[in-house]
């Protein structure tokens, strides 16, 4: 019975992690929907957001740190887009994957030089003001302790989800971006600059990743090697929900976070990190198009 009473707490923790997986999955989806490329560097955008915010928060107010972190993410995204664009016309999918993998390792290496390997604590958005370490506000609900920062994470995720859905469904630019993946030649014929849309998709995905990073850093700390695991689990969510499917990826991300947390807390704490990979492999074997996805086009 003792274990069962932990369930609400585990769900809250899992939900927080799941929201981040969901945002990473959204980043994948944005780039995938525009270019058809799986961006292996997506996790590093989260890392950059978290690290830049953490480093700047030590000296400046969040009014400086947050926009700077998102901007830094967008900039890195734009540079990566430049690298992907050069060969995009003639390159095989694998070439592009290797480029994004290389970029991800490079970003991690450079970040390690700039900021070192130690985890940096970040004060929560709405903590209790005080000297030194800022404690977060927290309250109890159904036996679980919920920190204010966790609500921020959920709120930011919700905002991103609604914003992205509206953007891709109703705005002209969003529709143009979707057209690029469906048929680049056709998109070009009707006057869409595929090049511009590809850059835009990378910038958006990177900006969202950075936003996710800075939101979650007060909960999980900022560390230069945080990106790989987040990226992998975000993938897992994106594939689980069906690549290219926004709502699928988001639901899968949150579910993945909760399942992971429950498995870790109730069954085998050591294998918590394996959960995502087992699910991923099972899905890829049984239903590669994802649980909620349309039939993937098999080349």
Partner 1 sequence: MLRGGKALLVLGLLLLLQLTVDPNHYVSRVLLLSCFSVMLAVSLNIINGYAGQFSIGHAGFYAVGAYTGASLSHFGREWMEASLGLASFPAWLADSAVLLAAVVAGSVAAAVAGFIVGLPSLRLRGDYLAIATLGFGELIRVIFINIDRVGGARGFSIAPINSIFWIGLFTVGIVWLSRNLLNSRQGRALQALRDDETAASVLGINITSYKVMAFVLSAAMAGCAGALYAHFDGYLQPDSFNFIRSIEIIIMVVLGGLGSTTGAVIAAVVLTVLPETLREFADYRMVIYSALLVICMLVRPQGLLGTSEFSWASLRSRGKETGGGLA
Comparison of 89 and 140: residue with beta carbon closer to partner 1 = 89
Report in angstroms how near the CB of residue 219 gets to partner 1 at its nearest. Answer: 22
- By CB under 8 A, the count of residues binding partner 1 is 43
**Closest Cα partner for 218 from 293, 147, 146?**
147
Q: Which of 3, 5, 58, 98 binds partner 1 (CB under 8 A)?
A: 98
Here's the x/- map for partner 1, 103-142, by CB under 8 A: it reads as: xxxx-xxx--x-----------------------------
DSSP string for 117-176: SS-B----TTEE--SSSPEEPEEEETTEEEEHHHHHHHHHHHHHHHHHHHHHHHSHHHHH
Region 206-235 residues binding partner 1, contact defined as CB under 8 A = 228, 232, 235
Here's the x/- map for partner 1, 259-278, by CB under 8 A: it reads as: ---------x-xx-xx-xxx
Does the footprint of partner 1 cover residue 71 (CB under 8 A)? no
Phi and psi angles of residue 243, each rounded to the nearest 5 degrees, phi first: -55, 135
Instruction: Check residue 295 and give left, alpha or beta (phi > 0: left; psi -120 to 50: alpha).
Output: beta
Structure tokens at 20: 């981040």
Report in angstroms how near the CB of residue 273 gets to partner 1 at its nearest. Answer: 5
**Closest Cα partner for 57 from 227, 231, 225, 213?**
213
CA distance 179 to 197: 10
Here's the x/- map for partner 1, 9-38, by CB under 8 A: it reads as: -----------------------------x
**Closest Cα partner for 213 from 38, 55, 40, 37?**
55
Interaction site with partner 1 (CB under 8 A): 38, 83, 86-87, 91-95, 97-99, 101-106, 108-110, 113, 228, 232, 235-236, 239, 268, 270-271, 273-274, 276-278, 280-281, 284-285, 288, 296, 298-299
């Amino acid at each position: 019975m003792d274990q069962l009473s932990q369930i609400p707490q585990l769900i809250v923790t899992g939900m927080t992690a799941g929201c981040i997986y969901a945002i990473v999955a959204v980043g994948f989806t944005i780039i995938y929907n525009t270019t058809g490329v799986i961006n292996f560097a997506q996790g590093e955008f989260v890392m950059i957001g978290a690290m830049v915010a953490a480093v700047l928060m030590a000296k400046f107010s969040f009014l400086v740190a947050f926009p700077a972190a998102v901007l830094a993410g967008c900039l890195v995204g734009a540079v990566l887009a430049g690298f992907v664009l050069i060969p995009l016309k003639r390159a095989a999918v694998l070439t592009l994957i290797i480029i994004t993998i290389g970029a991800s390792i490079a970003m991690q290496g450079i970040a390690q030089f700039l900021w070192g390997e130690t985890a940096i604590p970040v004060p929560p958005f709405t903590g209790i003001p005080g000297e030194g370490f800022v404690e977060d506000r927290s309250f109890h609900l159904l036996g679980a302790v919920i920190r204010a920062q966790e609500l921020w994470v959920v709120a930011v995720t919700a905002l991103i989800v609604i914003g992205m859905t509206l953007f891709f469904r109703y705005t002209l630019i969003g529709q143009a971006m979707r057209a690029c993946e469906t048929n680049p030649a056709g998109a070009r014929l009707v006057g869409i600059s595929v090049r511009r849309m590809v850059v835009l998709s990378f910038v958006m995905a990177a900006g969202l990743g950075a936003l996710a990073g800075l939101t979650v850093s007060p909960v999980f700390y900022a560390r230069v090697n945080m990106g790989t695991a987040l990226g992998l689990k975000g993938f897992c969510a994106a594939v689980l929900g069906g690549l290219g499917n926004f709502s699928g990826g988001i639901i899968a991300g949150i579910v993945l976070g909760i399942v992971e947390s429950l498995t870790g807390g109730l069954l085998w704490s050591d294998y918590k990190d394996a959960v995502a990979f087992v699910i991923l492999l099972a899905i890829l074997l049984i239903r590669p198009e994802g649980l909620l996805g349309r039939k993937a086009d098999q080349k």
